[in-house]
Amino acid sequence: MNKKTILIIDDDIDLVEIIRVTLENENYEVIDAQNGDRGVAMARDRNPDLILLDVMMSKVDEGFQVAYELRGDAATKDIPILMLTAVVDQSGFDFNPDKDAEFLPVDEFLEKPVSPRKLVDMIRKHLPTSV
Amino acid sequence: MAAVRNKFLVSRESSQFVSAASLRVRLDWFNKLRWGAAAGILVAVTVTNVYLSQSLPLIPLLVTTGVLLLLNLGYVLRNQRLAPKDIDAELRLVKLQMVGDLLVLTTLLNLTGGVENPLLYIYVVHVMLASLLFKGSEIYQITWLAIFLFTAEVMGEYLGVLPNHHLLSAGALTHELPFISVSLASFWMVMLFCAYMGASIMKHNRSIKDELVEQQAELVKADKAKMDFFRFVTHEVKSPVNTAQSAVETALELGSGKMSPAVEDMLTRAVRRLQQATEIVKDLADLTRGGMLKKENLQVVDLSRLVDRLAARLRDVADRSGQKIVLQVPDEPVVITTNLSMVDKIITNLVSNAVRYNKDGGQVDVALTSERKVVLLKVADQGIGIAPEDQSRIFEEFFRSAEAQKKTTLGTGLGLAIVRKFVDDLGGSLKLESEVGFGSTFTVSLPRAPGKALAPKRDKRTMS
């Protein structure tokens, strides 16, 4: 059986565990990293089928930096990225997915809290069908 | 302790009561008055010399009037070329003008009867103006100059140092010592009294103004502290609430069909309350967002289309209680340059409030009108209305009127606070008309371009 692997990059360990339960229940293999650097390294090593990336980790735009880094690397540039965004954050950093989409290196924005059903739907939508 | 001591030690100079710009408006007005005065002199001289068989000294009068005209031309040119920026520079000019005016006035009085001429009241006008505009010793400099000039003129005529030019038949008065003494004594008294009264009233006014300015600054500071606090709390609460909501939703999903109904009911309640908390966090994040507008966040927005779209989005909710949303939107685009997400939020909050607090089966009118410099958005409902004593509080954070709370438990109490803040940020204004039991009408006026609301250019935060 060819299990798909999903990498979660998020520093909120509780959220990682919650998502893990949902995804493992859907028969995905889940790996995780709690910071951007480790996330990028893990993406290179394990070549996941999809990445869930938190937009804000400890630094204001760490998520975006990670996304650019992944897109800039031949080994990881084709992996779909779903970005988890918090409600408009406190730094006044204001982006508009409609307007900025072409400049942003991710495939989808999901606003937290994401319901488990919606999360699974979105993952199915973006997972490459052919293996 | 140190702060308290400072308050007593630092004797701060009070600020000026008028600003450079507002003073300039009046100075321009005085320039016009001076043209009028010159014309008046010429008319008066003609009338007295031709019709009243008086022979006022024509040439000296014309020369003096000419000097006045030249001086005034100088003032006018100066005002045209120099923008009113520095209040001290403006006040120096006023002082110069007053000295010039007093000299011209004294010369004119000498040529037209001196103490016999009732136009000497004009000295009092100058002292009054000086006491309104200047502070302390400057007022008395002008006052004593006026007193000196007039006294010198009168005594000069009496002693024969200056020529007499009598007015009408009043000829003898200039040489009657009792009359002169009484005139001069009352003149001195009136002048000094005016200077003193004006000075003390204005000193009081200035201290009130300073107090108000200081209080205003305190209020701004307090408001900023409040926003900082909200922002901090929002930031801290956001993740736990999000994660908790995800956890409970996931538990409900995983346990579906395997839990006892009581457990499922508990978890459903928990999700609902967490959704409420998320709403509050979202609203607080909106409220504390931003600050001043930045150029890169502006775009051209067609309000006609936006209002159409947002109203369509809220129609379902309105339908549920049999309400109608009636749009009155121009067919042609209503285009403004603004921040789309903020305007979106303003319209959404106002219309969804209108629907929420409307009577069942009622109507919500949304009208968009376009004026030269602004666009007006009017949102009217036929709902519970807002009591007069609540109307000023309705825009405060977390305030919900008793009627609103009775009507529904939904609502974070932040919607209108966000509307007010965003309208402010966009450089617009907001009006509320409401009658209890008959409904409320909110009118938002937004500028076509942000203009003054735009933040001055600063180093941009870069993202990549």
| pLDDT tens-digit map of A16-27 | 999 999 999 999
Answer for the pair B431, B438: CB distance below 8 angstroms, yes or no: no
Q: How confident is the model at residue A104 (pLDDT cuts 50, 70, 90)?
A: low
Q: Mutating which of B237, B249, B254 best tests the A interface, going by the most A Cβ atoms within 10 A?
A: B249
Residue-wise pLDDT tens digits, A1-44: 578 999 999 988 999 999 999 999 999 999 999 988 999 999 99
- The answer to whether residue B247 neighbours chain A at the CB level (below 8 Å) is yes
Q: Inform me whether the C-beta atom of residue B285 falls under 8 Å from chain A C-beta atoms.
A: yes
Encoded amino acid at A65, one letter: Q
Q: What is the pLDDT along chain B (464 residues), one digit of tens a residue?
A: 344 444 444 444 567 788 888 888 888 999 999 999 999 988 988 887 777 766 778 889 899 999 999 999 999 999 888 888 888 888 889 999 999 999 999 999 988 888 888 888 999 999 999 999 998 889 999 999 999 999 999 999 888 888 888 776 656 677 788 888 999 999 999 999 999 999 999 999 999 999 999 999 999 999 899 989 988 888 889 889 999 999 999 999 989 889 999 999 999 999 999 999 998 988 888 888 766 567 777 889 999 999 999 988 888 888 888 899 999 999 889 999 998 889 999 999 999 999 999 988 899 999 999 988 899 999 999 999 999 999 989 999 989 888 888 888 778 889 999 999 999 989 899 999 999 989 999 999 999 987 766 765 544 433 33
Task: Measure the CA–CA gap between B377 and B389, rounded to whole angstroms.
Answer: 25
**Contact flag A117-B238 (C-beta cutoff 8 Å):** no
| CB contact B288 to A (< 8 Å) | yes
Contacts with B412 from chain A: Cβ below 8 Å: none
A117 CB within 8 Å of a chain B CB: yes
Cβ separation A92–B291 shorter than 8 A: yes
A61 touches chain B (CB under 8 A): yes
Is pLDDT of A91 > 60? no
**What angle do the packed helices B177-255 and B261-287 form, to 10 degrees?**
150
If you count them, how many residues does chain A have? 131
> Nearest residue of B to residue A21 by CA position?
B250
Nearest to B318 by CA among B368, B358, B276, B366: B358
- Token pair in block for residue B348: 């959404």
> What is the Cα–Cα distance from B276 to B436, expressed in whole angstroms?
28
- SS3 at position A104: coil
Sequence-distant (≥ 6) Cβ neighbours of residue B161 within 8 angstroms: none
Which of A86, A96, A115 minimises the CB distance to B249? Answer: A115
Q: Does any CB of chain B come closer than 8 Å to the CB of residue A93?
A: yes
A18: nearest CB among B247, B278, B299: B247
Interchain CB contact of A19 with B (< 8 Å): yes
**B96 contact partners, CB below 8 Å, separation of at least 6:** none
Q: What is the ipTM of this complex?
A: 0.82
Residue B260: exposed, middle, or buried by beta-carbon count in 10 A (0-12, 13-18, 19+)? exposed
Residues pairing with A82 in the sheet: A52, A108
Better-predicted residue by pLDDT, A108 or B292: A108
Give every CB contact of residue A69 below 8 A, 6+ residues apart in sequence.
A36, A40
Where does residue B50 fall: left (phi above 0), alpha (psi -120 to 50 degrees), or beta otherwise? Answer: alpha
List, in order, residues 6 or more apart from B363 with CB less than 8 Å away.
B323, B324, B325, B326, B381, B382
The strand ranges marked E within B306-438 are 324-328, 335-338, 363-370, 374-380, 429-435
Query: Percentage of chain A with pLDDT > 70?
Result: 79
The encoded tokens of residue B286 equal 């909106």
**Minimum distance, in Å, between the CA of residue A92 and any CA atom of chain B:** 5
The pLDDT of residue B2 is 41
How distant is the Cα of B302 from the closest Cα of chain A, in angstroms? 16
Phi-psi region of B3 (alpha: psi -120 to 50; beta: other; left: phi over 0): alpha
Q: Which residues of A touch B246 (CB under 8 A)?
A: 15, 18-19, 112-116
DSSP labels for A57-70? Answer: SSSTTHHHHHHHHH
- Of the candidates A21, A88, A113, the beta carbon closest to that of B285 is on A88
Give just the sign of the alpha carbon dihedral B398, B399, B400, B402: positive
Q: How far B262 CA lies from chain A's nearest CA (Å)?
A: 22
- The domains of chain B, with CATH numbers, are 20-175 (no CATH), 295-453 (3.30.565.10)
* Rounded Cα gap, residues B35 and B24, in angstroms: 17
Four-residue CA torsion sign, A21, A24, A28, A34: positive
Residue A123 has pLDDT above 80, yes or no: yes
Return the number of CB contacts < 8 Å for A and B. Answer: 75
**Position B366: which residue type?**
V
pLDDT at B140: 94
Does the pTM surpass 0.90? The reply is: no
Q: How many Å apart are CA B128 and CA A5, to the nearest integer? A: 87
* Residues 322-381 (B) with a CB less than 8 A from some CB of A: 340-341
Q: Does A21 touch chain B (CB under 8 A)?
A: yes
The Cα–Cα gap between A64 and B463 comes to: 8
